[in-house]
Amino acid sequence: MERQKAMLEEADRERFDFRDRDQSSFKTDKGLTPEIVTEISKMKNEPEWMLQHRLRSLEIYNRLPMPDWGPSLDELHMDDIVAYVRPNTDMKSDWNQVPGYIKDTFERLGIPQAEQKSLAGVGAQYDSEVVYHNIRDELSKQGVIYTDMETAVREHEDIVRKLFMKLVPPEEHKFVALHGAVWSGGSFVYVPEGVHLDFPLQSYFRLNAAGAGQFEHTLIVVEKGASVHFIEGCSAPGYNMLNLHAGCVELYVREGATLRYSTIENWSKNMMNLNTKRAVVEKNGTIEWISGTFGSHVTMLYPSSILKGEGARSTFTGISFSGKGQNLDTGTKVVHAAPNTYSTIHSRSISKDGGIAVYRSTVEILPQAVGSKSSAVCESLMMDSDSRSDTIPSLDIRTDESDVGHEAKVGRISDEAVFYLMARGLTEQEARAMIVRGFVEPISRELPLEYAVEMNRLINIELEGTIG
């Protein structure tokens, strides 16, 4: 009995599902019009080129059709979504100056403690704006820039204007066009040539307002021979109406540079999560994706790598967990566009209580990418016969001088393994939970300790009702 109580306490979702009273200082009207887009731009005091970018993106959004593949998005109506919610504070660099209710929110999520213990810098976004940003002084002295995107547009325009939504153009699909029209908040990171950050940078995104959208933009440039680990966390309380997340991430990894990009997404189950992430990697550079996808009603998320320079590398390690009423459509894409490039994909998904987990991957090896290698392994675990898991790989190989492998496993939890553990004194529920934790272990060991703990906590939450 004591053990049951301890497990349920550990799985308490209150840490993530609490909500604050709406104290925003400004909201746009629901829906999407040129007037709303212009209003957002003027509030941010943006240069004219950014306003024109927003208006052009809106035109593209109105022109493009809804996706005709993947999960149904019929429940999503932009006329019901508030595109911009401004908290009642501007950005602070002193944690003590952040309004109390926002500070309490992030303290309950453990953000300040993480900064004090193991981070080189941290940013915290609440609804549509970044409310706190800070970076260690010694990194600033080395030329590292870590700030919110609005500040970057104004103060680092020479870098931002050349790169903003060039890797993920608005024409690509309807929701990245939407992002281009109403983006707000996010992070800008610039690591100069040869600089190595020993501790990660972290941005945390919290959406509090009911019926709102969050559209943060992240732009990271890691110059020649430099390295950085960037961690991104997301969460939102649950409401009985849809929220929308349509962020955009653009990563530039220069020659010989290394970027590790770790994400734990933990959205409430009324969230439509339609995020877009892409990296371009130059000669002998490395991008490492670590991705944990939890929560949301519908997710469509496929981090992509373009291996542009000879010897460039990409690794993707991801886990998703889909429960009742959830449809998580995830995966990754790699384009080998230069000789002797290398990619590995390792994806795992769990589904239970009728949840749907779909894995899609695309590996393209272009004619010039001779000597390239790619290996993909995806494994899906279904906890019951009501759940569904699909694996949809795509391989497009344009040269015989390459080495490509793909392996997929889809199956229900093993009755023999459960029986084996029960024979050693565990209940059936404990045995199933132990098997799930073993299944996700290859992913959690790639995360920083604090995030591995959080991921295990999220697994426990998702297994509530399964754990005895």
Q: Give the separation between CA 88 and CA 350, rounded to whole angstroms.
A: 39
Q: Which residues pair with 343 in a beta bridge?
A: 314, 374
Question: Which parts of the chain register pLDDT below 50?
Answer: 1-11, 466-468
Q: Which residues pair with 389 in a beta bridge?
A: 357
Q: Give the separation between CA 458 and CA 158, rounded to whole angstroms.
A: 41
Q: CB neighbours of 147 closer than 8 A, spacing ≥ 6?
A: 123, 133, 155, 156, 187, 188
Least Cα distance to 292 among 322, 327, 253, 249 occurs for: 322
Q: Which residues pair with 331 in a beta bridge?
A: 360
Per-residue tokens: 170: 């608005």
CA 229-170-338 angle, to 5 degrees, is 55
How many Cβ atoms sit within 10 Å of the Cβ of residue 401? 11
Max Cα distance, the chain (Å): 70
Helices within 297-389 (DSSP H only): none
Q: CB neighbours of 352 closer than 8 A, spacing ≥ 6?
A: 322, 323, 324, 382, 383, 384, 387, 462, 463, 466
Helices within 144-288 (DSSP H only): 149-155, 157-163, 174-182
For residues 391 and 408, is the Cβ–Cβ distance under 8 A?
A: yes
Q: Give the separation between CA 96 and CA 331, rounded to whole angstroms.
A: 40
The sign of the dihedral angle between the CA atoms of 222, 228, 229, 235 is negative
Q: Give the separation between CA 53 and CA 86, rounded to whole angstroms.
A: 21
Q: Give the separation between CA 315 and CA 342, rounded to whole angstroms.
A: 8
Size of the chain, expressed as the number of residues it contains: 468
Per-residue tokens: 205: 């995104």
Q: How many CA atoms lie within 13 A of 466 on its CB side?
A: 22
Which pLDDT value is given to residue 14? Answer: 60
Q: Give the separation between CA 428 and CA 422, rounded to whole angstroms.
A: 6
Per-residue tokens: 331: 């995966």
Provide the 8-state DSSP code for 340: T
The type of residue at 181 is A
Q: Give the separation between CA 11 and CA 15, rounded to whole angstroms.
A: 10
For residues 280 and 308, is the Cβ–Cβ distance under 8 A?
A: yes
Provide the 8-state DSSP code for 223: -
Per-residue tokens: 113: 């403690």
Q: CB neighbours of 121 closer than 8 A, spacing ≥ 6?
A: 115, 133, 134, 135, 136, 139, 146, 201, 202
Q: Give the separation between CA 378 and CA 14, rounded to whole angstroms.
A: 32
The four Cα atoms 48, 52, 54, 56 give a dihedral, to 10 degrees, of: 180
What is the helix (H) or strand (E) element at residue 425, kind and residue range?
none
Q: CB neighbours of 189 closer than 8 A, spacing ≥ 6?
A: 144, 145, 146, 201, 218, 219, 220, 221, 222, 228, 230
Q: How many CA atoms lie within 13 A of 110 on its CB side?
A: 13
Q: Give the separation between CA 283 and CA 100, rounded to whole angstroms.
A: 47
Which pLDDT value is given to residue 3? Answer: 41
